[in-house]
């Protein structure tokens, strides 16, 4: 089986979509699938490169904004595209951008099976353009993706049930399959380390520092926490809002709300695991999220999450109790949840183990098997 993954950028640091593509392709190769990538070249000359490399297309005016959001658009080279599509049995679209539209046209012409993964809500794109949650771009954008790419696929992977509901509500024609992007799990289950809310109380927030990730909700919540003077906030990620959030945190310190300066940094996977193991709580603030594997990656290490809940948040499915949910963007409600877990350390320790155990249900090996079956069904349908 030869599967061609088509995306603009698979090598951006801190970009969940890029990381998911690389992990998924590696898992497929381990199962004997010949999975190859067409994408923009890796800017790191010493790093891995796509099998079918494309040049970087730089948008006039908007390129600095695109770059700070960890993205890059590929220039569609029809010679490279035709070579790649002719090689493949299945064309798998990771986005529905101009590149994928051109690839789709050639794939249809050559009679190739076509599948896709819905990695982004249109709200993700709009938020990075500075638009609010409800704006005139969301509807036309999802209709464009549907009409020009996804309706030409026989099957579409939905990482969560929330995505499946959204696509059904928007009339997607493809067969929708709920398949998590999956988690790389240790051979042995993790034993969660019991913790007391000592000094400092370590609170971890992982994710790109961007408006839709809503880390400002956590910073605002600290104003309402009874334990703010004991809390150390650790933000793990980078992005366009980094300076703004650092200033918010510095203001909390200057005003005496925080006694311990908040920390900001970008970390390797091993460093993130170590941070999760030493933290008391993990906070997931995003108001729009297709899946949010960073939450699972944290809870895998034996930590209790508090997750924003809303109509566009697939991450909330990972919650195992009401105390791990709060209405997204509601900083007072988030503060109440943080304080509750601080005041109930025994329950926190019991649930930490439950969360660590629950991640076993998201084994990437199971996701890979489900994807292989989907690809095979697509090939059969194209005959």
Q: Which residue, chain included where needed, has tokens 């919650």?
A: 319
pLDDT at position 45:
87
For 148-176, the pLDDT digits (tens) are 999 999 999 999 999 999 999 999 999 99
Domain residue limits, the chain: 2-182+363-382, 201-362
Cα(170)–Cα(111) distance, rounded to whole angstroms? 26
Please tell me the CATH superfamily of domain 2-182+363-382, with its number: Glycogen Phosphorylase B; (3.40.50.2000)
Query: Is 84's pLDDT higher than 90?
Result: yes
Q: Report pLDDT digits (tens) over 23-56.
A: 999 999 999 999 999 999 998 888 999 999 999 9
> For 87-130, how does the pLDDT look when each residue is reduced to its tens digit (9 = 90+)?
999 999 999 999 999 999 999 999 999 999 999 999 998 888 77
Q: Report the distance separating Cα 23 and Cα 55, nearest Å.
A: 23
Percent of the chain with pLDDT over 90: 85
Place of tokens 């709060």: 326
**CB neighbour class for 62 (10 Å; exposed up to 12, middle 13-18, buried from 19):** exposed
pLDDT for 58 equals 82
- 10-22 per-position pLDDT tens digit: 987 777 788 899 9
Burial of 258-268, coded b for 16+ CB within 10 Å and e otherwise, reads bebebebebee
Rounded-to-integer distance, Cα 43 and Cα 40, Å? 9
Instruction: Give the position of tokens 């997931």.
Output: 284
Residue 383 has a pLDDT of: 84
d(CA 371, CA 28): 9
| Residue 335 pLDDT level (bands cut at 50, 70, 90) | very high
281-284 and 201-206 as β-strands: parallel, antiparallel, unpaired?
parallel
CB-CB contact of 305 with 285 (8 Å)? no
**pLDDT band per the 50, 70, 90 thresholds, residue 344:** very high
CATH class of the domain defined by 201-362: alpha beta
Q: Does the pLDDT value for residue 146 go beyond 70?
A: yes
Q: Residue range 291-306: average pLDDT?
A: 96
pLDDT given for residue 69 in this prediction: 67
Question: Rounded CA gap, 42 and 342, in Å?
Answer: 44
CB neighbour class for 236 (10 Å; exposed up to 12, middle 13-18, buried from 19): buried
Contacts of residue 347, defined as CB under 8 A and 6 or more positions apart, other chains included, come to 323, 341
Say if CB 19 and CB 3 are below 8 A apart: no
Nearest to 315 by CA among 225, 177, 205, 241: 205
Least confident among 63-67, 201-205, 274-278, 379-383: 63-67
Domain 2-182+363-382 and domain 201-362 have a common topology = yes
């Amino acid at each position: 089986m030869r599967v061609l993954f088509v995306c603009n950028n698979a090598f951006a640091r801190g970009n969940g979509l890029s990381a998911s593509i690389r992990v998924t392709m590696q898992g497929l190769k381990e199962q004997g699938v010949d999975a190859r990538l067409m994408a923009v070249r890796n800017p790191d000359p010493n790093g891995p490169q796509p099998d079918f490399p494309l040049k970087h297309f730089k948008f006039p005016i908007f390129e600095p904004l695109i770059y700070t959001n960890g993205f890059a658009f590929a220039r569609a080279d029809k010679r490279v595209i035709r070579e790649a599509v002719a090689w493949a049995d299945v064309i798998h679209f990771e986005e529905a951008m101009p590149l994928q539209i051109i690839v789709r046209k050639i794939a249809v012409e050559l009679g190739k099976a076509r599948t896709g993964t819905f990695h982004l809500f249109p709200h993700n794109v709009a938020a990075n353009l500075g638009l609010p949650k409800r704006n005139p771009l969301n509807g036309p954008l999802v209709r464009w993706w549907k009409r020009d790419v996804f309706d030409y696929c026989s099957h579409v992977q939905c990482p969560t049930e929330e995505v499946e509901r959204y696509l059904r509500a928007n009339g997607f024609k493809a067969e929708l399959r709920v398949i998590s992007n999956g988690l790389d799990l240790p051979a042995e289950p993790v034993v969660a380390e019991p913790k007391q809310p000592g000094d400092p109380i370590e609170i971890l927030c992982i994710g790109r520092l961007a408006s839709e990730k809503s880390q400002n909700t956590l910073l605002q919540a600290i104003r309402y926490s009874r334990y703010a003077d004991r809390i150390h906030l650790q933000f793990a990620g980078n992005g366009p809002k980094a300076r703004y959030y650092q200033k918010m945190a510095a203001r909390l310190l200057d005003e005496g709300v925080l006694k311990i300066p908040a920390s900001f940094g970008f970390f390797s996977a091993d460093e993130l695991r170590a941070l999760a193991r030493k933290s008391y709580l993990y906070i997931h603030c995003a108001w729009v999220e297709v899946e949010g594997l960073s939450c699972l990656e944290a809870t895998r290490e034996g930590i209790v999450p508090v997750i924003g809940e809303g109509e566009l948040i697939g991450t909330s499915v990972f919650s195992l109790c009401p105390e791990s949910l709060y209405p997204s963007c509601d900083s007072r409600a988030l503060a109440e949840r943080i304080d509750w877990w601080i005041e109930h350390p025994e329950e926190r320790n019991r649930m930490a183990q439950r969360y660590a155990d629950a991640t076993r249900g998201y084994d990437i090996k199971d996701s890979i098997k489900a994807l292989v079956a989907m690809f095979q069904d697509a090939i059969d349908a194209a005959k």
